[in-house]
């Protein structure tokens, strides 16, 4: 089994907050937190700007000695923005981005227990808190999370005579055959294009009893279980024309759009697909990921991270703000606005009993046992890049999963050695 580590893309908000002493008229000890946040919005509304505006206004009312100035950047910009600030010696006090490990490895971050109050830190979901650890010390504070489930089009299933969601790989193949005979354009969407191949790959590795790493966190990409998984995909789905085309050319966004348009019978998806499908009036269901012989015992989890830099020395003020950010009301407000999962145990419990969250509730339970990217490894970005460029071809007509996975293992081992 793969050790639980995280990284969302799942999809995201990123924040960098710079604490600076305010000028005249602010009173002694007053500071300003510069918040640089990534936008989780879909372009149809004010997005993250409104969320942070309302939250910071309420925080400032309770804490007049701390002011917060917010700038919002797209996910395409925000990681580089923070990296550039750090490189220039102008590290933000707080950043909410996709990866924390490089900064932790360089000794630039406060640990979570130096920032959060004991009740707030204890309330973080254990799997996510563990995923933020480097050397058993937590530096990455989970901010937003998602898991994966199987989405299926109920109307297409009924027209093909399928009465329930598939539970095993054999069920997936049989149902895909029925959908194909019914004329469904893409019976099973398998997005192994360059956008998010690392996620789709891990979905399948998990359901086949493998993963990117073993129980002690060592890369095990070319394990026998992983080779069997991708050999099955090549022979039983792609090779039989059940994926509607070449998976190497299909990105996640296009697969999701196809499902929302009614052209896809089933696919692995995260909570953002809920809103997309419902907006198009798709009658859909979700189910546990099918496994080799039955439902998979785990699923992919993805998280974005909050972290605090030491450079400006405003640990106490940053910690006070973070305690407020992780209050249940704020956590659930963010989840409701952007279709993501609460990272706190109390927030997850409240979501599970609230009908307003609809199908989103189904994604909360799997977070407890989810497996994550090995984001605590400085080598992971290089490995993920290689996975994106190679895994799609492994299931093509000339694909050789064993050889591809062996090449990726060599890349991972070399990157891991260089990083250490």
User: Could you report the per-residue pLDDT of 216-231, keeping only the tens digit for each?
Assistant: 999 999 999 999 999 9
The answer to whether residue 4 scores a pLDDT higher than 80 is no
Indicate the pLDDT class of residue 13, thresholds 50, 70 and 90.
very low
Assign domain 15-147+301-369 to its CATH superfamily. Periplasmic binding protein-like II (3.40.190.10)
The answer to whether residue 85 scores a pLDDT higher than 60 is yes
Indicate the pLDDT class of residue 73, thresholds 50, 70 and 90.
confident
Cα–Cα distance measured from residue 91 to residue 200, given in angstroms and rounded to the nearest whole number: 34
Answer with the residue of higher pLDDT: 99 or 353. 99
Residue 44: per-residue pLDDT: 67
Per residue in 152-174, pLDDT tens? 999 999 999 999 999 999 999 99
Residue 420: per-residue pLDDT: 62
Please tell me the least confidently modeled range out of 42-56, 93-107, 111-125, 275-289.
Answer: 42-56
Cα–Cα distance measured from residue 300 to residue 203, given in angstroms and rounded to the nearest whole number: 6
| CATH entry, 149-299+378-419, from 3.30.300.30, 3.40.190.10, 1.10.510.10, 3.30.930.10 | 3.40.190.10
Residue pair 242/187 in contact (Cβ under 8 Å)? The answer is yes
Q: With 0-12 CB in 10 A as exposed, 13-18 as middle and 19+ as buried, what is 101? A: buried
With pLDDT > 90 as the criterion, what percentage of the chain qualifies? 75
Q: What is the mean pLDDT of the chain?
A: 90
The answer to whether residue 136 scores a pLDDT higher than 70 is yes
Cα–Cα distance measured from residue 250 to residue 255, given in angstroms and rounded to the nearest whole number: 7
The answer to whether residue 8 scores a pLDDT higher than 50 is no
Indicate the pLDDT class of residue 98, thresholds 50, 70 and 90.
confident
The answer to whether residue 7 scores a pLDDT higher than 60 is no
With pLDDT > 70 as the criterion, what percentage of the chain qualifies? 92
Q: 15-147+301-369 and 149-299+378-419: same fold? A: yes
268 forms beta bridges with 150
Lookup result for tokens 């500071």: 31
Instruction: Break the chain into its structural domains and give their ranges.
Output: 15-147+301-369, 149-299+378-419
The answer to whether residue 1 scores a pLDDT higher than 60 is no
Phi then psi dihedrals of residue 129, to 5 deg: -60, -40
Which DSSP state fits 340? Answer: -
Mean pLDDT in residue range 246-266: 96
Give 40's contacts (C-beta < 8 A, 6+ positions apart): 11, 12, 13, 47, 48, 144, 337, 338, 340
Answer with the residue of higher pLDDT: 117 or 69. 117
DSSP codes, 164-195: S---BHHHHHHHHHHHHHTT-SEEE----STT
Answer with the residue of higher pLDDT: 12 or 234. 234
Mean pLDDT in residue range 366-378: 92
Mean pLDDT in residue range 311-326: 94
């Amino acid at each position: 089994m793969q050790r639980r580590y995280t990284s969302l893309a799942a999809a995201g908000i990123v924040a960098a907050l710079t604490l600076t002493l305010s000028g005249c008229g602010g009173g002694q000890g007053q500071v300003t937190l510069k918040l640089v946040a990534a936008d989780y919005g879909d372009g149809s509304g004010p997005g993250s700007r409104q969320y942070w505006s309302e939250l910071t206004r309420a925080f400032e009312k309770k804490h007049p000695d701390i002011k917060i100035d917010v700038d919002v950047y797209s996910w395409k910009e925000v990681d580089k923005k923070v990296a550039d600030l750090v490189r220039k010696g102008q590290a933000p006090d707080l950043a909410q981005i996709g990866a924390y490990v490089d900064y932790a490895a360089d000794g630039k971050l406060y640990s979570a227990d130096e920032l959060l109050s004991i009740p707030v830190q204890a309330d973080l979901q254990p799997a996510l808190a563990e995923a933020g650890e480097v050397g058993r010390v937590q530096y990455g504070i989970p901010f937003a999370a998602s898991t994966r489930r199987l989405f299926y089009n109920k109307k297409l299933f009924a027209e093909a005579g399928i009465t329930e969601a598939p539970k095993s790989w054999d069920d997936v193949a049989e149902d895909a055959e029925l959908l194909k005979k019914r004329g469904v354009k893409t019976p099973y969407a398998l997005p192994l294009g360059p956008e998010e191949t690392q996620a789709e790959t891990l979905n399948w590795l998990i359901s086949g009893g493998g993963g990117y790493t073993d129980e002690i966190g060592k890369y095990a990409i070319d394990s026998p279980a992983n080779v069997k998984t991708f050999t099955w995909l090549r022979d039983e789905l792609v090779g039989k024309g059940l994926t509607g085309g070449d998976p190497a050319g299909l990105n996640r966004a296009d697969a999701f759009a196809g499902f929302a348009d009614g052209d896809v019978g089933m696919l692995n998806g995260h909570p953002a697909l809920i809103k997309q499908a419902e907006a198009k009036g798709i009658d859909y269901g979700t189910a546990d990921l099918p496994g080799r012989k039955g439902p998979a015992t785990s699923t992919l989890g993805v998280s974005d991270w909050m972290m605090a830099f030491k450079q400006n020395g405003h640990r106490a003020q940053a910690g006070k703000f973070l305690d407020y950010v992780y209050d249940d009301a704020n956590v659930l407000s963010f989840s409701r606005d952007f279709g993501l999962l609460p990272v706190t145990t109390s927030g997850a419990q409240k979501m599970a009993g609230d009908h307003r969250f609809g199908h989103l509730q189904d994604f909360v339970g799997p977070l407890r046992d989810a497996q994550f990217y090995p984001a605590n490894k400085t080598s992971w970005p290089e490995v993920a890049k290689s996975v994106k460029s190679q895994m799609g071809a492994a299931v093509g007509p000339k694909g050789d999963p064993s050889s591809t996975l062996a090449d990726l293992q060599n890349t991972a081992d070399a990157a891991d050695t260089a990083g250490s």
